[in-house]
Copies of this chain bind each other. A is one copy, B any other.
């Protein structure tokens, strides 16, 4: 029954990378908690850079300040 939500910045995550995240998380839950893969759901949210804040500023500004 696990449900996993992964939020990352929207920066060209490929279909292959998404599949790797889904497979990896599902396997992790099986290895650690013996959750059968059939009942594990994973949802990946891609968040626009301007909509993610860190250190009090948006990610684009954060990266300018922390190059």
Chain B minimum-CB-distance residue to A59: B1
Q: Which of B25, B38, B47, B57 contacts A23 (CB 8 A)?
A: B57
- Number of A residues contacting the other chain (C-beta, 8 Å)? 50
Cα A32 to Cα B14 with chains together (Å)? 10
Q: Which of B1, B28, B61 contacts A21 (CB 8 A)?
A: B28
Cβ of A18 to closest chain B Cβ, rounded Å? 5
Cα A59 to Cα B52 with chains together (Å)? 22
Cβ of A43 to closest chain B Cβ, rounded Å? 6
Question: B-contacting residues of A (Cβ < 8 Å)?
Answer: 1-9, 13, 15, 17-29, 31-33, 35, 37-47, 50-59, 61
